Amino acid sequence: MQRPVPRLILASQSKFRAGLLAAAGVTAEAMPAYVDEAEIKTAAKAEGMSAEDTAMLLASLKAERIARRFPDALVIGGDQILVCEGQWFDKPADLDAARAQLRELRGRAHELVTAVLCQRGAQRVWQHVARPRLVMRDFSEMFLEEYLAMEGEVLTTTVGAYRVEGPGMQLFDRIDGEHTAIMGLPLLPLLGFLRQHRVLIT
């Protein structure tokens, strides 16, 4: 279903994004692209950039870094920012930070602004932003502690301190949007582009 050319590279160290592509039958080499996300987000906020533009900027910087090294490859870049009532959230540093973050999100709605783009050489050939909306239920402190104990350090690898593909689904009353976008990669639009770009067989 996938043509051998062009080479497909995922500019990310996210196991979740790589796993989504693999599960969909897409072969992509995962290659981390290191950028100072905290510094970029701080500057973006100071300049009044939106979460959508900032997520796309981060995705672009990652893809550009890899594309400079492999100009003949098609490079996928992605990034995600959680926004709750105007506040941006990052991956929690530890379980205490995850606990505090989940308490802040409890009983409230938030969006996962999820940007993805494809770059070939110096040219950005496609981009897309998804904004799934999730409503977290008003769970008890007992549930929170049980959840933290069950999931452990994996919660520090996700921007929301939850995994909807696991027990994190129990945190929510409502979820609107593509499931894969919540996990960090809007897969249906990306697959559509890859078919259009003749990477995948139509």
Residue listed under structure tokens 């932003």: 129
Residues with pLDDT less than 50, the chain: none
Task: Catalogue the active-site residues.
Answer: 79
Q: Is the backbone of residue 48 left (phi > 0), alpha (psi -120 to 50) or beta?
A: left
Q: Which of 112, 114, 88, 111 is nearest to 101 (CA)?
A: 88
CA–CA gap between residue 125 and residue 6 (Å, rounded) = 13
Tokens of 34: 């290191």
Tokens of 157: 């690898």
pLDDT of 79 reads 95
Q: Quick check: 156 and 94 in contact, CB under 8 A?
A: yes
pLDDT of 34 reads 86
What is the three-class DSSP state of 183? Answer: coil
Tokens of 150: 């069950």
pLDDT of 1 reads 81
CA–CA gap between residue 14 and residue 17 (Å, rounded) = 5
Q: Which residues pair with 10 in a beta bridge?
A: 30, 76
pLDDT of 41 reads 92
Domain topology for 8-196 = Maf protein (3.90.950)
pLDDT of 14 reads 85
